[in-house]
Amino acid sequence: MLQSPSAFDADASPVRAPLRDGFCRSVCYLRVSVTDRCDFRCSYCMADRVQFLPRKDLLSLEELDRLCSAFIGMGVTKLRVTGGEPLVRRDIMGFFRAMSRHLASGALRELTLTTNGSQLSRHAADLAACGVRRVNVSLDTLDAGRFATLTRRGQLAPVLEGIAAARAAGLRVKINTVALHGFTEDELFPLVDWCASEGHDLTLIELMPMGEEGAEARIGQFLPLSDLRARLAERFTLEPLTETTGGPARYVRLAETGQKIGFITPLSHNFCESCNRVRLTCTGELYTCLGQEGASDLRSALRDTPDATALESAIRAAIALKPRGHDFDYSRGVPQGVMPRGMNHTGG
C-alpha cells in the first residue's frame, strides 16, 4: 500500500499559485509514464530490439505518488497514466488507488490512462473502482494478421477482450489510431463501422518523427489526416464540433451514425498555442514539449530533500522553460524536428 507524506497531498496542502509557463499558458494536465516497458513493439513507436531502462533507474511508485501529488497541489486537474504499457508495471493498481484520493478530495477532476489493451481485461474492474471513468486504447487495425505484423508480437484477441471488459466495468473507451501511409487507408472504414457498432469514439493521430527507426522511415509512413478526413466526407456528413476535452483533438460528428471522430494533427496543423500539458517520465524527467529535447530533472529535487517547497520550486522552474511549440515538419519532404527518443521513453 502506497503511503504518501501529507506534505505532498493536494487535499492536505494550502492552495498555491497555479502553474503557468512563460507564455501565460495554464498547465493543468500531467501525463506520467510509469514504465518504458511494453509487451508490443509497434513499428511506428519503437525498435524491434529495444534496450529498456534498468529497473533500478525507475522511480518507485511511492516517488511517483509524491511527484504527481505535488503537481496536483499546484493545480493539475487531469492525470493520464501512460508508458510504455502502464499495465505491465508490477503493483500498478496500488498507484491508481493512491491517486484516487485526489479524486475523492475534488483536487483531481480526471484520472485516466492510455493502454494497448493487452492487460486491460484483468484490470478493468479495479480501474473503475479507483475512479477511472474512461480509457484510451491504441488500436490500428481489426485484422489479426495485420495487427500481429504491426505490433511485431501482439495478439488482437486479448485487446478486444480487454476493451469488452472495460465496457462491462462501465468505462468509456476511446480508440486511438495512428495514421500510417499505405496501411490506414484500408483500415479507416472498418474501424469507423466497428466503433459505431460498439459505441466507441475514435481519434486519428498523425505520425510524429520520433524514435530510433530513423527519419526516412517516418516520412515514408506519414499520412496527413486531411486525406482521411476527405475519405470520410465521401461516405458521411461531417458536422464540426466546438467541444473540446482540453486536449489537442478537433472533433466532428458523423451525422449518419452520431459518433464522434477526433483528429490530432501535430504536423499538418499544430495546436501549440493552447498546449496545457507536460510529460513526466518514469525516471523523473519532465518534458514540457513532446517535440523538443529539453527536459528537467525532478528526481534530484524529489530525493535530495523531503521538503515539499524544494520540489515545488523545481517544478515551477521546469514549467517556466516550456517552449512556444515544437518543430515537427514534413512539408519540405525532409523531416524536421526529429526526436531520436521513442514514445515509450517520454510516454504516449
Structural domain of 334: 6-346
For residue 335, the model assigns a pLDDT of 47
56 is in an annotated binding site: no
Lowest mean pLDDT among 29-38, 44-53, 305-314: 44-53
289 is in an annotated binding site: yes
Q: Which run of H or E residues covers position 32?
A: strand 29-33
Nearest to 208 by CA among 337, 43, 29: 337
For residue 207, the model assigns a pLDDT of 87
Q: What are the C-alpha distances in Å from 192 to residues 154, 199, 224?
A: 22, 10, 18
DSSP state of 274: G
Kindly state the percentage of the chain with pLDDT values over 70.
Answer: 81
28 is in an annotated binding site: no
Report how many domains make up the chain.
Answer: 1
Nearest to 21 by CA among 303, 287, 302: 287
For residue 310, the model assigns a pLDDT of 92
88-141 pLDDT per residue, tens: 999 999 999 999 999 999 999 999 999 999 999 999 999 999 999 999 999 999
The yes-or-no verdict on residue 17 having pLDDT over 50 is: yes
38 is in an annotated binding site: yes
The three-state secondary structure class of 101 is helix
pLDDT category, 342, cuts 50, 70, 90? low
For residue 319, the model assigns a pLDDT of 93
174 is in an annotated binding site: yes
pLDDT category, 245, cuts 50, 70, 90? low
For residue 208, the model assigns a pLDDT of 77
User: Is 116 among the domain residues?
Assistant: yes
201-216 pLDDT per residue, tens: 999 999 877 555 545 5
List Cβ neighbours of 16 (8 Å cut-off, separation of 6 or more): 73, 74, 75, 312
Q: What are the C-alpha distances in Å from 161 to residues 46, 120, 156, 166?
A: 24, 8, 9, 9
User: Is 335 among the domain residues?
Assistant: yes
Kindly state the percentage of the chain with pLDDT values over 90.
Answer: 64
Mean pLDDT within 298-306 = 90
68 is in an annotated binding site: no
The yes-or-no verdict on residue 81 having pLDDT over 50 is: yes
Q: CATH number of the domain that 10 lies in?
A: 3.20.20.70
279 is in an annotated binding site: yes
The yes-or-no verdict on residue 270 having pLDDT over 70 is: no
For residue 133, the model assigns a pLDDT of 98
Q: Which position has the higher pLDDT, 172 or 26?
A: 172
The three-state secondary structure class of 182 is coil
For residue 50, the model assigns a pLDDT of 82
Mean pLDDT within 44-72 = 91
24 is in an annotated binding site: no
User: Is 1 among the domain residues?
Assistant: no
The yes-or-no verdict on residue 8 having pLDDT over 70 is: no
Lowest mean pLDDT among 82-91, 286-295, 315-324, 329-338: 329-338
The yes-or-no verdict on residue 320 having pLDDT over 80 is: yes
277 is in an annotated binding site: yes
100 is in an annotated binding site: no
For residue 341, the model assigns a pLDDT of 52
138 is in an annotated binding site: yes
pLDDT category, 340, cuts 50, 70, 90? low
For residue 213, the model assigns a pLDDT of 54
